[in-house]
Structure 1
Amino acid sequence: MTLAENTACTICHRDLRDDERARFACPFCVDLVDQRLRALAGPQGLYARLSARLAPGAGNGGPAVSGSRTAPVPLRLEVLNLMTAGGPVLGPLETWVRDWEGYGRADMCEAGTLQQRVDHAVGTLRFNLAWAAGNHPAIDEFGREVAFMWRACERQITGERPARIVPVACPCGTVLRITLDIAGARCVGCGEQYGHSELMALPLAERRIAA
């Protein structure tokens, strides 16, 4: 896809205005990605606050001890995984920094603590976000990955349950597993790109199979 052909935001799939067509993502989506990146970083950010949820029971306000005869797991593994260097937060952030570095738009830095690396990655990605919205053809993938890591951290902090996954059927027969808040998805079977409203209009996979 070239910029000349791009008439819709690749993240939310809304039509772009005439003065926005020299870009891959609309201003609304760029602002949302920026807000989510900003929420991850800093001493009061979501990543830093994960450490307070490491103890068993810390995620729901309950005691960090178990009444069973077996010893509790010393750390909540799902939280620990989010905090590791290769986990679903820092790992993807630094992967995108490396990618943008290839365009001359970012500087990779793996020095310092994990928190400092998160802060550096977020800072350089935010600084270059406007450029990416107008020039990087994978800005939609970047937006989805930022949304995933933001939600994963937010759920651990708030205790929110994971979004319900709903299977829907593409006309080609492929089953797409989506959540109700998904911005869009591409069918791996036929390559069709769906926006949010189009995904919500697809039939449930079970109903289609039973028909």
Structure 2
Amino acid sequence: MNDLDTCLRCTSHLRDHELGRHLCCRCEAIVASALTEIPKLYSRLGDHLHRGASNGPAVSGSKAAPLPLRIEVLDLQMEKGPALAVLQGWVRDWEFYGHAELAETDTLQERVNGACRTLRYNLGWAVAHHPAVDEFAHEILSAHRTLNRVVNGETPPRKVAVTCLRCQQTLRITLDTRGETCPGCRTEYGHSEVLRLPLADRRAAA
């Protein structure tokens, strides 16, 4: 149970009916939506495997040289890539608590489907009881963004330059960062702390 009155992910204050949870209802809904969309995005990776490939039908008997593969997409399709490995890692973790069951005998797509299904089904338990549900949410949303960027061409989050309070080092952060460590003085900033840092001078940020 969360002894704090703030969401561990977005640090917003929990409402009365959310007290005791680790995540607020809004963050839970965002993670649930990502778990619903991940299988659909994963199934479309094959359409983006070749550089410059169109989604039109293949021409039989073509003598053209095969298009080069996109390694980052191939990596996403792999069992140990940043999609399935993350999903199955959390299924294994939740299995320890008795709230999931890992299936490793199906196709990769079926394993993605099954992992997302069981994680979404037990999300309510995790939000209330899992001690690392904020880390889980971060990794699931990161995997979703990566897949969405490949399939739908979504651009990465825009980085903002801010200044370390201790040594004036410029840090480049995104609005969804979980926290940052200053490379100059090694000061650690949490999510809410790093978002409150002053914007860097334009010349320093260049």
Q: TM-score, normalised by structure 2?
A: 0.81
2:179 and 2:194 in contact (8 A); partners too: no
The corresponding residue for 2:114 is: 120
Any idea what SS the aligned residue of 1:168 has? Answer: strand
Q: Distance in 2 between matches of 1:206 and 1:50?
A: 41
1:154 has 2:152 as partner: no
1:185 has 2:178 as partner: yes
The corresponding residue for 1:12 is: 10
Decide whether aligned partners of structure 1 residues 206 and 77 sit closer, same or farther in structure 2, where only a CA change above 3 A counts.
farther
Q: Distance in 1 between matches of 2:189 and 2:68?
A: 45
The corresponding residue for 1:144 is: 138
1:168 has 2:198 as partner: no
Q: Distance in 2 between matches of 1:93 and 1:74?
A: 28
Q: Deviations over 1:113-169 (max 9, x none)?
A: 100110111011001100000111211111111111111111111223333333433
CA-based RMSD of the aligned residues comes to 2.6
Q: Distance in 2 between matches of 1:175 and 1:111?
A: 48
Q: Distance in 2 between matches of 1:176 and 1:120?
A: 39
Decide whether aligned partners of structure 1 residues 165 and 124 sit closer, same or farther in structure 2, where only a CA change above 3 A counts.
same
Q: Distance in 2 between matches of 1:207 and 1:16?
A: 36
Q: Distance in 2 between matches of 1:28 and 1:205?
A: 31
1:170 and 1:187 in contact (8 A); partners too: no
Q: CA deviation at 1:54?
A: 0.9
Q: Tell me, which stretches of 5 or more residues in structure 1 are unaligned?
A: 65-70
Q: Distance in 2 between matches of 1:74 and 1:209?
A: 39
Identity of aligned residues (%): 44
Any idea what SS the aligned residue of 1:123 has? Answer: helix
Q: TM-score, normalised by structure 1?
A: 0.80
Q: Distance in 2 between matches of 1:113 and 1:175?
A: 46
Q: Deviations over 1:39-64 (max 9, x none)?
A: 012xxx000011111121138x89x9
The corresponding residue for 2:24 is: 26
Q: Distance in 1 between matches of 2:119 and 2:172?
A: 29
Q: Distance in 1 between matches of 2:112 and 2:121?
A: 14
The corresponding residue for 2:86 is: 92
The corresponding residue for 1:68 is: none
The corresponding residue for 1:202 is: 197
Pairs aligned (count): 193
Q: Distance in 2 between matches of 1:23 and 1:175?
A: 35
